Amino acid sequence: MRVKRGKELAKRIKVFVATVSCLALTVSSIGCKTPKQNDPKLLLGFSQIGSESAWRIGNTNDIEKQAENYEVSLMLENANQKQENQIAAIRRFIAYKVDVIAFSPIVEEGWDNVLMEAKNAGIPVILVDRDISTEKEGLTSCLIGADFYREGEMAGEYLIRKADALGLEKVNIVEITGTDNSTPMRQRQAGFADAIADDERMTILESIDGDFLKSRGAECMRSLLEKYKDEITVVYSHNDEMTLGALPEIEKAGLTPGKDIIIISIDGGQEAIDVLKQGKINCVVECTPKLGKEVMETAIKLKNGEEVEEVIHPQENVFTDEQDLSKLEPRGY
Ligand code: GYE
């Protein structure tokens, strides 16, 4: 567990100890003066999924930076890609009596019990980046994250334009998907499939789980090339990491990514944008990891008992080989 602003937290623990001894003294009716409160403005527990991608690392950095800007004390836990670690972290936040809990659920299902515990403890919960799926009402206060369905649609819309520009009659797609049962995986798949559904040129040969990891992206690409080698027109990959893992495999197979195979990626980290500029990726749909400002502002509102927006989606773009990208600002992740 990483505890930021240690001094303030130490003070908070001290205040807690002092209050307990004060209570004990009050009970024994000796009387006690309440110590001067010097609490941090807000104590936020954040459970991050892991460090699987440049996106994720950029997201963690941004949340740490904005916590400092907003003078929020941050308890940050990295779950190393395991749901059980996230559940344990949320339980620790509850035991610690944080003011607000934020977390990025690795998958959509399986949160009801722990979120009910947070609700019973009166601690509001912010979903960051990914959503949950539940039958229960009121377990979370809001969601701050990208519109993944729209990202998938933008990828599909680009592909239709590209197929038109190249005059393609048949487009065979292989899809390398993100972590099974995660929101970005489900929504990026659905948005893309819906966008190309009415275009008879398009066939999805196979969708394969790459778990948002570079190493898995390479493995998936190897097996797809073995199966379909000369048939593949397009690789649609749900994040930059998997794309960057897949590209060398395509080259090893004697094909040129960006020319022999159209490459579509999502995230828009610096490395993928550089490769797009070199012509080995054709399209990168932006997904911004910079959610920290909204998270801090929302957490402060929740602590103050104010209303918050149920869903906040950042504004996102698409970067493609149709554009002049020479003046694009550094991406910062
Ligand atoms: O696209 C991927 C990451 O949930 C939006 O998770 C996020 C995704 C992102 O690891 O790179």
- List per-residue pLDDT tens for the chain, 333 residues long: 444 444 444 433 333 333 333 333 333 333 333 444 445 689 999 999 999 999 999 999 999 999 999 999 999 999 999 999 999 999 999 999 999 999 999 999 999 999 999 999 999 999 999 999 999 999 999 999 999 999 999 999 999 999 999 999 999 999 999 999 999 999 999 999 999 999 999 999 999 999 999 999 999 999 999 999 899 999 999 999 999 999 999 999 999 999 999 999 999 999 999 999 999 999 999 999 999 999 999 999 999 999 999 999 999 999 999 999 999 999 999
Cα distance between residue 42 and residue 296, in whole Å: 9
Q: Which residues pair with 129 in a beta bridge?
A: none
- Give the distance (Å) from ligand 1 centre to CA of residue 157: 21
* CATH code of the domain occupying 43-146+290-315: 3.40.50.2300
Ligand 1 binding residues, C-beta < 6 A:
52-53, 55-56, 129-130, 146, 184, 212, 239, 241, 266-267, 287
State the burial class of residue 19 (Cβ atoms within 10 Å of its Cβ: 0-12, 13-18, 19+). Answer: middle
Give the domain 148-287 fold: Rossmann fold (3.40.50)
Cα distance between residue 23 and residue 207, in whole Å: 60
Ligand 1 atom nearest to 238, measured from its CA: 1
Tell how strand 73-78 and strand 100-103 pair up.
Answer: unpaired
**pTM of full prediction above 0.95:** no
Q: Where in the chain is the domain with CATH 3.40.50.2300?
A: 43-146+290-315, 148-287
